A = this chain, B = another copy of it.
């Protein structure tokens, strides 16, 4: 029913091979026949069948994006960058929500492989993600986005991320410069490597300033509002006398702010808060959140570019691109009024 290269061939009085050649911009076709064929294609309103070509060419012009949750503004922003690049380079993307589950991740991976996608962009990886290692071993094109793994068993991986150590450092340093000495640190899951790095930055700043960190004021969580809320309550009621909090993402920071208000205290007058990511939420909350900016959209874009180049064989594998990170100063952190 739909028009195929056979129809075009017949109408243009050439073989299907020739039609295929003009379809693929093969240079060996004479200008004259190329024009003729193109004209017929227009006339018959021909549209090539990607599925059929995929069967032989083994290329679907489709990429898979694995993220924990598209409803989380951080990942939505990454996804936008990924889709922008895909679109610019003629690819499409299939989005999968893994909900932080390795099993779901594995299921999606196997499904997408059956669909012969050309490569994966993975934002859901843990530091020793076995799914990723398997893909690497199978030599499937992939790039890690905003995540890194520790143990790739010597296999080279492409990674696009940002400077998390620096991020943790500048956030903490900023609080220190405001006079804070007891600074709490709320991290995400330790299975996600960025948290270790952000903690490292935090510790570095503290150490440099000769400040000691109160063990009860440092904790790992799940990147969600509720964790920020509960942990902050715990910390503020505990022995640490924290006057400032560095949170490893905006959601946790927002939870912290709510806890502070809940206790009848003020941000930043009583307690200062600095977040991480600079999602849309940061400028929505009250007071607007001072936070470390990750260039999420750009990260997504670059990761996709990288992957596509890899797919096209334009480059080898094993590149690490680390984007810069900077502090966006809003109103949630102020001069230390405590002791």
Which residues of A does B touch, CB under 8 Å?
47-52, 54-55, 60-62, 69-71, 73, 76-77, 79-80, 83-84, 87, 92-97, 110-116, 254, 280-281, 284-286, 297
List residues of chain B with CB within 8 A of the CB of A115. 50-51, 60-62, 92
A-side interface mostly: helix
Contact partner, A116, options B50, B113, B285, Cβ 8 Å: B50
CB distance from A67 to the nearest CB of B (A): 10
CB distance from A137 to the nearest CB of B (A): 13
CB within 8 Å for A254 and B47 given contacts A80-B70, A83-B97: no
List residues of chain B with CB within 8 A of the CB of A95. 79, 83, 93-95
Most chain B beta-carbon contacts within 10 A, residue among A60, A93, A115: A115
CB distance from A275 to the nearest CB of B (A): 12
Copies, count: 2
Closest residue of B by beta carbon distance from A286: B286
Q: How far is it, in angstroms, between the C-alpha of A95 and the C-alpha of B70 when the chains are bound?
A: 11
CB distance from A172 to the nearest CB of B (A): 25
Most chain B beta-carbon contacts within 10 A, residue among A84, A94, A113, A284: A284
- Give me 19 A-to-B residue pairs in the complex whose CB atoms sit less than 8 angstroms apart, sorted by A's number: A47-B110, A48-B114, A55-B55, A70-B70, A70-B83, A71-B73, A71-B297, A73-B73, A73-B280, A80-B97, A83-B95, A84-B97, A87-B96, A92-B111, A92-B115, A94-B95, A281-B284, A284-B285, A285-B285
List residues of chain B with CB within 8 A of the CB of A50. 114-116
